[in-house]
Amino acid sequence: MSDVGFTRDEVRRARYAVAAVFAVHGAVTGSFATRVPWIQDHASLGAGQLGFALAFTAFGASCAMPLAGRISHRFGSRTALRGLLALWTLSLILPSLAPNLYTLCLAMFVYGATAGMADVAMNALGVEIERRLEKSIMSGLHGMWSAGALVGSAAGTLAAHLGSDARLHHALAAATLTLLGLLACTWVLDVQPAEDEEPPPRFALPPRSALLIGAVGFCAVFAEGASLDWSAVFLRDRLDSSAGLAAASTTGFMLTMAVARIAGDAVVNRFGAVRTVRAGGVLAGLGGLLIVLAGHPAVAMGGFALMGLGIAVVVPLCFAAAGHAGPNPSQAIAGVATITYTSGLVAPSLIGGVAQATSLMVSFCVVTALACGLVVFAGVLRTAERGGRKEISPQAAAVPDPRP
């Protein structure tokens, strides 16, 4: 990559701009998730048909994410992010317009494809800013994503409570978030490729380093997906909790993750990525143990809170490690993102399958085992500790990057 030599003030300003981009991205997800029941009724779908349609989100993301690097190479990081983020925010309108299963599948494919490409572009910029600031910022950026998702979810909950038509709600949300996203992109870094730099391939298998890092992310996202989709069911079916208390366990898990991500950069900067993830694996494993052994709702809720605390920073650190692992951050990040998206898709259905064959307790034994895997495999993230600090000194921050 080649650039014009950004000053420290420009890099700091870009950090806040990218944080706003992460929040906008998360707000789209939160806005969509709260209106899924309305979309299901509007398209006249059963539970199985809805699940089939939602799977096209991950399918679209997996197909399109490798394209993000080529788009950034062609247009530069700022223009690419501006366009991809706008496509993502505007795609929020599509699912609520779908009148049947086939159109909803197409809408979810586009929704997932634009989500994945914007995701790769904004994480690649986050890694670039982290490298220049010489300290961890990725956890905080993902914390802003979680905060944005909570805000979008709260607005969607209010719209659903008022009986608002999701088509109107999503049109207004898409217009607002598109404007906010375009405004935020004004201050992100505009990193341009060097004149002799070869464009990345349109599609390529993830590099080996991304596969190893992605395996760590797989463990964390599997636990996240299982907890988000099954925590309320676990409390209701195994512990006879009320619907309100069961729902509160999911909210508590999300809040724990958001707070831990926002505060996580200070921990990573103090102790390093590897030790932070290992400690997180211990907390997540302890949380899983509490869930499996819980005889009271409060114990299970504490377990889910610990699970959220333990896995919160893992995915941001996986993206950071991927971005620092090789010469093409976008390609490596796309590889890790593809693996984590797959994990998020597989987790809920696998948990349901195991529960159907055995019990939910056995399902969460699987989740606990994967969470403990973070302790074992955290060492592959050591590239994040090396890569974020080795290149740029404060005195050199305003000098053009000499690397090809």
**Which amino acid, 158?**
L
Phi-psi region of 44 (alpha: psi -120 to 50; beta: other; left: phi over 0): left
Helices 329-357 and 101-133 sit at what angle, rounded to 10 degrees? 130
pLDDT given at position 58: 81
Give the other-Cβ count within 10 Å of 25's Cβ.
23
Closest CA to 121 of 181, 91, 177, 80: 80
Give the other-Cβ count within 10 Å of 289's Cβ.
17
Give the whole-angstrom CA distance, residue 306 versus residue 284.
6
Weakly modelled stretches of the chain, pLDDT under 70:
1-5, 194-207, 209, 326-327, 348, 383-404
pLDDT in tens, 14-65: 999 999 999 999 999 889 888 888 998 999 988 778 878 888 888 898 888 8
Tell me the average pLDDT of the chain.
85
pLDDT given at position 195: 67
pLDDT in tens, 122-171: 998 998 898 889 888 999 999 999 899 888 888 888 888 888 899 999 99
pLDDT given at position 307: 94
